[in-house]
């Protein structure tokens, strides 16, 4: 596990500000995706999550003409939580295409710096 964490920290991080959702076994939380790499993500979330909790991170999902357009998701585990921020380590690395596509989405939907909770969120 230690070598996995060292590998994860060597991954390039994409700095973004996108609306996101954290889905746990018992609840769903609105969040802001702040950093993304193939191995994990950092998010701002109002909920108190426990380290070790398994989550699905969803982002870049749109609701168009009454239908949900597919977005991106990563399955992982909460590895740290501090003052409304949490770090997620994905169980499987994200494909590079998803990281690059997220960069394009951020170019269009980047939230303002002072925004910690998205005003609009696809349900």
Could you tell me which residues are beta bridge partners of residue 31? 20, 45
Side-chain-side CA neighbours of residue 120 (13 Å): 7
Q: Which domains does the chain have, with CATH numbers?
A: 2-109 (2.40.10.220)
pLDDT digits (tens, 9 = 90+) for 67-122: 566 789 999 999 999 989 999 999 999 999 999 999 988 888 888 885 544 444 44
pLDDT digits (tens, 9 = 90+) for 26-63: 999 999 999 999 999 999 999 989 999 999 999 988 65
Label the pairing between strands 67-69 and 62-64. Answer: antiparallel
For residue 34, which of 25, 23, 26, 45 has the smallest C-alpha distance? 45
């Amino acid at each position: 596990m230690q070598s996995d964490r060292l590998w994860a920290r060597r991954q390039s991080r994409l700095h973004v500000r996108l609306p996101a959702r954290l889905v746990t076994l018992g609840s769903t939380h609105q969040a802001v995706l702040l950093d993304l790499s193939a191995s994990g993500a950092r998010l701002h979330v109002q909920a108190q999550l426990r380290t070790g909790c398994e989550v699905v991170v969803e982002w870049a999902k749109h609701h168009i003409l009454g239908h949900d357009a597919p977005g991106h998701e990563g399955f992982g585990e909460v590895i740290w939580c501090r003052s409304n921020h949490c770090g997620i380590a994905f169980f499987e690395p994200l494909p590079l295409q998803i990281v690059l596509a997220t960069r394009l989405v951020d170019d269009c939907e980047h939230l303002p710096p002072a925004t910690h909770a998205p005003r609009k969120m696809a349900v």
